[in-house]
Structure 1
Amino acid sequence: MLPFQSIQEAESSLGRNLKFAENLWFKYSANKSDYFLYCHNTIFLLVFYTLLPLPYVIAELLRSNKIERFKIQPKVNNSFKDMFNCYKNVMTIFILVVGPLQLFSFPVIQSIGIRTGLPLPSGTEMLLQMLVYVLIEDYSNYWLHRLLHCKWGYEKIHRVHHEYTAPIGFAAPYAHWAEVLILGFASFLGPMMVPGHMITFWLWMVLRQMEAIETHSGYDFPWSITKFIPFYGGAEYHDYHHFVGKQSHSNFASVFTYCDYIYGTNKGYRYRKSVFGKLREKQNGGKYNISRQDLKAE
């Protein structure tokens, strides 16, 4: 809750007039507790998880020729029932695990110094913090994900996520409840180490959700803005990891590919892409699709 009774009091404390965004923030948050503001994150996760995969659902149901050429595994068909069942399963985990965890983790968020007051962070501050968050999450997620591919971790936990050998947007958080907690920790690690404003925290969680959904979408659209991000993995890169499944020791990356490159865990992907890429591009009009024939060929 803001320690000001009026905008004038806030401006007097800051020694300047409030900016437009700060005015909006004051009007919305002045009489709301920090706990209530933090709970917004749970709502955002629910809303964005529900809405962001819908364009991919429509594409999957329409299967038009114009869209089909961008599907990474074109031989796989997902019915509306299949996708809705995935959504229901994820929502069950969300209601039973993620939601309560979000709500009861507020003392941790409060203790590490995530603030809700004024002034609001500048665009540069938010951008730099987000960069730190994504690098911390990416590196920690790589090793936690790789650990889940050990024999015990895969058979007891991670195999649930790999039930989708051709992932869909709704399957991004589809996993064993223990995996949700394990990999979810990687997303919280950045804000815990470099705490910022609550708005930055909200934005980080939403962007992380957006990235996970795109990576699991099953479609590789050339106009995606992520194509211009250096070392970004994307849907095709992570789709290969799902396609190989249990035997996969490649493409563990969460967002960027540098860890896989440094530690040599993308050699299989690079080999098959280099060998079969040109052939598949000719067959698919410039689009490289992973196929079972590619996987088996050596």
Structure 2
Amino acid sequence: MWISRLSRFLDSVKQTLFILGTGLVIFLALRNSIVWHMQEFWGASGDFWQRRWEELYLLFNQDDFLLSVFGTYIFTTAVFWLCNLFFILLDLTGKPEFLLKYKIQADKNTPLRPADFMKAAKVALYNQTVVGLPMSVMIFCVMKWRGCSCSPADMPTFPWSVVEVTIFTLVEEIGFYYTHRMFHHPRIYRFIHKKHHEWTAPIGLVAIYAHPVEHALSNLLPVALGPILLGSHLATAWMFWALALFSTTVAHCGYHLPLLPSPEAHDYHHLKFNQNFGVLGVLDRLHGTDAQFRASLAYQRHFLLMSSMPVTQQVPEPPKKKSVSE
């Protein structure tokens, strides 16, 4: 038993190092040219982004509360709906038709019923507003206590922002995995998390289609913990939250599209319920909550698609075995 756990732990560590280290390895391998170019880029664009942040700060009357609460609400709401707009049109119209071949569960939500779309949209807007705004106030108070700044004068350097976002990602993985798994506990599942799993074939909007308690504790809190722990600048938090919203939209979209992160793992979670509780898959490997997934066809298809050929063609269904009577 302990050998199996040790093996899973080592696999988890290796997976973490691979996911977070790939970019760093490439950076180091090409550092003689990349470092110079990045410094030149940041020297120019850093001033640009700082000026934009100064304008935004002035727009909110240099009021940290207004920017942190209402600015964050406007920003994250806009990012979420912009990320989903393409998938909403694709789901409702089935066009462009050639993209339907990338759908993971091809027989579900094709096309999406308008009534189902409205149901998901109403819950998403409710969570963003009725749950999100009060949570933003609480998060602002804690971030203020931690010394987090909104001032343009305190804008971090780009390299440090990258370091912070990497740490945020690890913190989110821990927070989301354990709260998500908690909501799957049989004693509370039907009261809270069952709502999210009404969608066995998810769409992008389902990323925040959840019970208000789950949205607060499992969706919002894990992504806020990193900036709180590090006392980060609001601009860095916004950058991470935009990436997180994009990531969760793709994870729920139901399409395995070229050059986008594979949504196979989380789509499989919605199909089977008891697999793949995390974001990165690191803690699933550690705790063995991906064993069934790793033995599935979906796992064989779980890779970054680098060509226009759908994964269903690259990794087709195995031929059905003929029965004895045949």
Structure 1 residue 26 displacement after superposition: 3.1
Structure 1 residue 90 displacement after superposition: 1.7
Matched, 1:108 2:138: no
1:103-158 C-alpha deviation (Å, 9 max, x unpaired):
34422121111112214211101100000001011122111111111102211111
1:62 to 70, 94, 97: 94
User: Aligned partners of 2:237 and 2:227: how far apart in 1?
Assistant: 7
How many aligned positions are there? 258
Q: 1:286 to 1:96 in 2, by over 3 A?
A: same
What is the letter of the counterpart of residue 85 of structure 2? L
Match in the other structure for 1:250: 275
What aligned pairs does 1:17-36 form with structure 2 within 5 A after superposition? 19-30=47-58, 31-36=61-66
User: Aligned partners of 2:221 and 2:311: how far apart in 1?
Assistant: 42
Match in the other structure for 1:8: none
Other structure's SS at 1:160 match: helix
**Counterpart contact for 1:89–1:174, Cα < 8 Å:** yes
Other structure's SS at 2:263 match: helix
Structure 1 residue 63 displacement after superposition: 4.9
Match in the other structure for 1:211: 247
TM-score by length of 1: 0.79
Q: 1:250 to 1:27 in 2, by over 3 A?
A: closer
What aligned pairs does 1:134-283 form with structure 2 within 5 A after superposition? 134-183=169-218, 184-224=220-260, 226=261, 234-244=262-272, 248-254=273-279, 256-273=280-297
Q: 1:168 to 1:33 in 2, by over 3 A?
A: same
User: Aligned partners of 1:275 and 1:41: how far apart in 2?
Assistant: 36
Identity level (%): 26
**Counterpart contact for 1:22–1:119, Cα < 8 Å:** no
**Counterpart contact for 2:154–2:233, Cα < 8 Å:** no
TM-score by length of 2: 0.73
Moved over 6 A (4+): 274-277
Q: 1:283 to 1:200 in 2, by over 3 A?
A: closer
Match in the other structure for 1:13: none
Other structure's SS at 1:166 match: coil
Match in the other structure for 1:42: 73
What is the letter of the counterpart of residue 103 of structure 1? V
**Counterpart contact for 1:168–1:218, Cα < 8 Å:** yes
Q: Any gaps of 5 or more consecutive residues in structure 2?
A: 1-45, 302-308, 321-326
Q: 1:75 to 1:19 in 2, by over 3 A?
A: closer
Q: CA RMSD in A?
A: 2.5
